[in-house]
Every structure is written in C-alpha cells, then in structure tokens.
Amino acid sequence: MMKKEMEKIDIPPVGEFLEMIHDAGGKIYACKATVDMFKLAPQDFCPQVDKVLTVGEFYEMSAGAQIIFT
C-alpha cells in the first residue's frame, strides 16, 4: 500500500531516495539504540549509511546545523 501511495505522489522508492540524498552530499546515520535493540550488523545496512550514532553523538555533531529528518 505504501509503495502505491508513494508512486501516486511521485516519491522514489526508499532505496533510490537514500541514494539521491547520499549522492547530493547528505549524511545518513543509523540510530545506535535501534541497531542494538534489533541486533543489527553493518551488513544489514545499505552502503549509503555513513555511521551508527547515539542520540547524544548526533546532537553534538549537528549542533548549530539544520536537522531535516530525525
């Protein structure tokens, strides 16, 4: 259902959207708490994920910057 709704409003599939963000210079981070909770490993992520961060690391690193997605 989500795929169809995204197509209707011309949003690319998630994988393609992540590629577009990364290729445009955006950084993509995974949440450490989620990674730990679901017992994920680096190979579970697409190559565009730059790093796994804690919430504290993310807010420290992005201090003064514009955060678009959290």
pLDDT in tens for each of the 70 residues of the chain?
Answer: 888 888 899 888 888 989 999 999 988 999 999 999 999 998 999 999 999 999 999 889 888 887 676 5
Q: How many domains does the chain have?
A: 1
Is 10 inside any structural domain? yes
Is 18 inside any structural domain? yes
In CATH, what number is assigned to the domain containing residue 36? 3.40.1260.10
Is the pTM here over 0.85, yes or no?
Answer: no
Residue 70 has what pLDDT? 56
**What residues make up the domain containing 38?**
2-61
Is 69 inside any structural domain? no
**CA 18, chain centre distance (Å):** 7
Is 66 inside any structural domain? no
Is 70 inside any structural domain? no
Is 42 inside any structural domain? yes
Is 12 inside any structural domain? yes
